[in-house]
Chains A and B, each alone.
Chain A
């Protein structure tokens, strides 16, 4: 079984990791880098719990091989807060009571972050499309959509 040495940047930190061919990006993050905020749900690209930002795009990390990420930039839930300040999507989901069991939350926040990075002022339709691949079984989606709207407002204020 082949292993590969890959170089990538995770949450702005350079990493060198030795990965077997069949290891997914999700497994590498959790098992090699101990970044267990990214969750393993369905392992089939359906639930979105494992969503990370790969080279600027939200992806299901269970559907990407780690070896494919040589040279890549990855952002996980652990990379959202900076300098003891929550990312606006994190602050908003707390204030909008968008968290219950919390299992889908990292994926939801990453999808929200990726959306606001490409569209700082999204419509409700755009928010729903961005969160469509993040299944939540307890809070429901209304508060999540509200949280993204709130996050967009907060982000706009901090940018003024």
Chain B
């Protein structure tokens, strides 16, 4: 036996031949089996004694879950198995969804991004997940395969708590789908970590904006906050302020204050709740200003 330390606890690796087989196995072994993609969160949690599982079910490369496709009408379909380096290196993602590229680039290191996936980041449902904010403001949905077949779920209602989602036993996220972004849109992700690169977010702010004649301000903004609530959070009140008033420095400051008041962070090893709140305000102001400058051509 190989018990070299530190290794993973024992489990059986299962490689199903299809999504149907995978969902069936997961539901038959509910509570004892766990699906995984890159494994970069799952392995660490298991090694540390959390998430004991008798079976790890490899759901990469099943029935097209490794595809990355863009269509000018339906938008981007990113298979669950597409790793973050592939997202970063994709010309079509860079052209239409640069915010996804920007968010992926802040995740850990190049080696880890060879394995880590956006779908896994979503399923792991950490409030600190770097790519989740971009997925929320880009209006992402996930395709889920369960024992009853396929269904779609909006990310807006997907997250229930730290590590908790609406997924049930047997459910497998097969792809993340993004609509075609509105023309002339702009986005920004600002991440504050303990160091400049590679660390988990103390606070992360994703801002996405685009011209919208239907709004009083002429622009629609979407803002998502990471690491400052039990779930990845949309700052709706801040978004409303930016929609309803002519946008200038004072409006952006007011929206940033609203974002700060919307969040409900905790003290932890990476930062205090108070510091997080103050940083939400600062980073929202910075990110919204930069996006507005891009939208108005002042960048």
Give A contacts to B, CB under 8 Å.
Answer: 1-2, 4, 20-24, 27, 30-31, 40, 43-46, 48, 51, 54, 57-60, 62-65, 67-68, 111, 129-130, 132-134
Contacts and interface: CB of A to CB of B under 8 A. Distances in A.
A58 B110 CA distance: 7
Contacts of B47: 43-44
A140 to B, nearest CB: 15
Interface string B81-120: 0000100000000000000000001001111101100000
Contacts of A59: 111, 114-115
Given A45-B40, A63-B43, A132-B197, A22 B112 contact: no
A154 B13 CA distance: 44
Contact of B39 (A30, A65, A130, A132): A65
Interface of B: 1-2, 4, 6-13, 15, 38-40, 43-44, 47, 56, 58, 85, 105, 108-112, 114-115, 197-198
15 contacts: A2-B12, A21-B56, A23-B2, A24-B43, A43-B47, A44-B44, A45-B43, A45-B108, A46-B108, A51-B111, A58-B110, A60-B112, A63-B111, A63-B115, A133-B198
A63 B39 CA distance: 7
Given A4-B13, A21-B11, A44-B47, A63 B112 contact: yes
A60 B111 contact: yes
A134 B109 CA distance: 8
Main secondary structure of the interface of B (DSSP, over half): loop
Contacts of B56: 21, 65
Main secondary structure of the interface of A (DSSP, over half): mixed
Given A133-B110, A133-B111, A133-B112, A63 B7 contact: no
A45 B199 CA distance: 12
Given A43-B47, A44-B47, A111 B2 contact: no
Given A20-B2, A27-B4, A48 B11 contact: no
Nearest to B8: A22
Contacts of B4: 27, 30-31
Contacts of A60: 111-112, 115
B279 to A, nearest CB: 23
Given A27-B2, A132-B198, A45 B111 contact: yes
Contact of A48 (B12, B111, B115): B111
A40 B7 CA distance: 10
Contacts of A132: 109-110, 197-198
A24 B44 contact: no
B198 A23 contact: no
B194 to A, nearest CB: 13
A62 B7 CA distance: 9
Interface pairs A-B: 4 shortest CB-CB: A133-B109, A21-B13, A57-B114, A22-B8
